Chains A and B, each alone.
Chain A
Amino acid sequence: MKKRANLSIALAAAGALVAFAAFAACGDDNAVKENVAKDSGTVDGQSPNVDGSGIPGSDGSIGPDGEIIDDCVAKPDPNVYTDLLNACTTSFKIDPHPTIPLLFPDGGLPPLP
């Protein structure tokens, strides 16, 4: 059980690193930044940045295989887990920037006490 829990944490941390590596350089004009007024993001399907591709939530370039657009995944039918988590959407979203002192510098998590 302990080994399974540790493996889950390692996988989660690795996933987080991959995701942040992919998105680190991306700007984001759509998401609400933390510590701003509640409900100040997009509401009820009204997106301020629907681009010419007709895919809401994207406002940057399309990759060679038509997949990654800036800070969201623009595949028409995402199926892989990280693609689903980060698929372009018109939903209200927030860009969190929490302070987590015990997080390892590489984004990893220490074992639970």
Chain B
Amino acid sequence: MRVTIPASVLLATTLLAREAHALPFCDDAAINPPLTNALVVQSGDTQEPMLRLMSQKLRNSAAQQTSLIYTTTGTCTIIANMYDSTKRFIAAGATLTYAPSTLENAAWDASQTPSQCIVNPAVWPTGIPIDIGIGATYNSSCTAAAPPADLGIFPGPIAGYGFIVPKASTQQTLTAEQGYFVFGFGNLGQATPWIDEHYIFTRLPTKSTALTLSANLGVTPITKLHGTAFNGSTEVLNSVAQSTNPEKTIGLMGTEIYDQNRDKVTELAFRAFGQRYAYLPDSSRTSFDKKNLRDGHYTPWAQTIYMTTIDAGTKLPTNPSAQLLIDLVVGNTSLADVDGLAVIVSKGLVPECAMKVKRDPIDAAPLKGYTPAAPCSCFFDAKVPGGKSSCTACVDNTPCGTGKCRHSFCEAQ
């Protein structure tokens, strides 16, 4: 469908967009290197730590320079956009985010504020096409519809979710039964100390964080979730961290976001229905190994889903840059100067090849044992912050006996 926009409206929109934000347009030639042939991503905000770093790596890549620019919104909104080819656009005048190149800011790292640009209405009057939508939980939590034939669904890394409290809180655990009453009954739940919805900080119902965590508590449908709902993870983080009543305060948070903010809030150990003890995603409060998430002791997690337009015949992404990003995050490929697996591991995500359990693509579905065909657990253990691996380092299969050399470590197969 082609929409014709009057020139006067276009000019006014263009001027307003530029003046309102004082940001460059995304096609501005002064951006170095230019954001030409950009890979446009719309993603859940829990994936932003990974996207910042991946954007930097790809933007500076000599092997395959790619300008990954992104915007964040709720997973259900992304799915709705990607399932309808007429909606696979980010609106003219919208703000997109990208990592500055080394040429622009050699000192920039992914913990710093990234660059932004405006979708130029004069260039993209009906919006800039979305190349990849990244949902941060299973599509089934948002829609029962099958994806359209031209949309490819590619399972990505695993994302953890959890419950956070202020540093000053004495609380250490949340059981699923407690959570059922805290988040399902709100002020009426009597599950002390979380009995005041003013201090129960949640996310909007289109957000993966709310969907996955509520499903793990049996609080479904999502409309039953009680609390003060925010649009973004940062708002929940700040509300919990700065609460004036720490003991009564609890919030929902993606593990990737929590891992970047461990100095500000505390994550609660979680005990699922039918479980004896409560566990953190990691083996201890100071580690980043996601051991419990990977082996089935910590249940609130979901698989990220990468959605992109595919060729009707080959079923492969029509955009080679989209294929590259997917291959990087699942470990199918790496560039000489971009190790995709290392990027996602460093930002709190778990590649499927490092998992020992899996579940059907439904939030909170029971876990099953899993042995990946090409495991990467040794690599994962070595690459997480502060990580170490007891596996033998290798460059080929020679030192691996009956095992196989994968990502520079001897794996069992």
Give the interface of A toward B (CB within 8 A): 1, 5, 8-9, 12-13, 15-16, 18-19, 23, 28, 31-32, 34-35, 38-39, 41-45, 71-72, 77-79, 81-82, 84-87, 89-96, 98-103, 107, 109, 112-113
Contact = CB atoms under 8 A, between A and B. Distances in A.
27 contacts: A12-B176, A12-B273, A18-B274, A32-B172, A34-B172, A35-B172, A38-B172, A39-B284, A39-B285, A44-B283, A45-B283, A78-B296, A78-B369, A81-B274, A82-B275, A87-B297, A89-B292, A89-B297, A92-B269, A94-B269, A96-B173, A96-B174, A96-B278, A98-B178, A99-B192, A102-B181, A113-B188
B57 interface: no
Closest 3 CB pairs of A and B: A84-B296, A15-B274, A79-B369
Given A85-B367, A102-B185, 6 more contacts: A15-B273, A43-B286, A87-B296, A89-B292, A92-B269, A96-B172
Contact of A16 (B174, B177, B266): B177
Quick one: which of A71, A72, A92, A103 has the most chain B CB within 10 A? A92
B191 A89 contact: no
A94 B278 CA distance: 5
A69 to B, nearest CB: 12
A112 B185 contact: yes
B148 to A, nearest CB: 24
Contacts, number: 159
Interface string B180-194: 110011001111100
B321 interface: no
B2 interface: no
B220 interface: yes
Contacts of A109: 177, 180, 218
Interface in B178-227: 178, 180-181, 184-185, 188-192, 218-221, 224
A78 B371 CA distance: 12
Contacts of A92: 269, 279-280, 283-285
A103 B191 CA distance: 10
Contacts of A84: 295-297, 357, 367-369
Contacts of A93: 269, 277-279, 297
Interface string B279-305: 110111111000110011101000000
A100 B369 contact: no
Interface residues of B, number: 51
B334 interface: no
Nearest to B173: A96
Contacts of A44: 283-284, 286-287
Interface string B248-285: 00000000000000000010010111111111101111
B318 interface: no
B286 A98 contact: no
B406 to A, nearest CB: 21
B366 interface: yes
A91 B177 contact: no
A24 to B, nearest CB: 10
A86 B369 contact: no
Nearest to B224: A112
Contacts of B126: none
B116 interface: no
A62 to B, nearest CB: 17
Contacts of A78: 296, 369
Contacts of A112: 180, 184-185, 219, 224
A106 to B, nearest CB: 12
B175 interface: yes
A84 B298 CA distance: 10
Contact of A8 (B178, B218, B279): B218
Contacts of A100: 175, 177-178, 181, 190-191
Given A31-B277, A81-B368, A96-B278, A91 B297 contact: yes
B170 A16 contact: no
Contact of A91 (B181, B189, B284): B284
Contacts of B173: 34, 94, 96, 98
Nearest to A10: B218
Interface string B365-377: 0111100000000
A45 B274 CA distance: 24
Contacts of B224: 112
